[in-house]
Homo-oligomer: A and B are copies of this chain.
Amino acid sequence: MARWEPNARGRLVLAALDLFAEQGYDNTTVSQIANRAGLTKTTFFRHFPDKREVLFAGQQVHSQLLADGAAAAPDSATPLEAVAAALDSLTASFTAEQRELGPRLLTVIADNPELQERAAYKRAALAAALTSALGKRGVPELTASLAADLGARVFDRAFDRWIEPSSQQTFTELAQEELQALRTATTALG
């Protein structure tokens, strides 16, 4: 039976981000990540299918949080109000540790086209999950997919602001602000 490893997942993420930053993503192996975390390769593979997914492992959980939040909005909520509820649900799940790791995560992704592609795909998957949740509320498909895309955009923008060391607001507050700004911007499209 496997030993219980306290916070193995978090230690693996931290070790991976450190190694990617130090020696580059391409030069880092799963063995090195496991070693740095004081864990075995077997433990690594219990948590992640490969080194890339260390960076994107939240995709399914995040999709579910968005869907749950949108589903829980009042029946009277407009599409963007349901998006706001979805973002509240997702952003509230983020921890201080994720905030601290944020800048390293974004730097690693920005330095590697393969990871940028994967990040774009994750963004599309989150937007698809939110589109589907809005569809279940009776929002027409085109409006739902537009609203979901605004939600994904708000998430990215709020995350960028939240991980700034000088930021004083919560992730949820920042997402609400960004959603309001985007809502205003849609009225200037012409």
A143 CB to nearest chain B CB (Å): 5
A125 CB to nearest chain B CB (Å): 9
Whether the Cβ atoms of B117 and A185 lie closer than 8 Å is: no
Q: Mark A59-88, 1 if CB is under 8 A from B, else 0.
A: 000000000000000000111110000000
Q: Mark A138-164, 1 if CB is under 8 A from B, else 0.
A: 001011011101100100000000000
A: residues with CB less than 8 A from B are 77-81, 113, 116-118, 120-121, 123-124, 140, 142-143, 145-147, 149-150, 153, 181-183, 185-186, 188-190
Q: Pick from B116, B121, B150, B188: contact of A189, CB below 8 A.
A: B150
Q: What DSSP secondary structure best describes chain A's contact surface?
A: helix
Residues in chain B near residue A189, CB distance under 8 A: 78-80, 143, 146-147, 150, 183, 186
A179 CB to nearest chain B CB (Å): 11
A29 to B77, CA, bound (A): 52
Residues in chain B near residue A150, CB distance under 8 A: 146, 189
Instruction: Specify the chain B residue showing the minimal Cβ separation from A147.
Output: B189
Residues in chain B near residue A185, CB distance under 8 A: 140, 142-143, 146
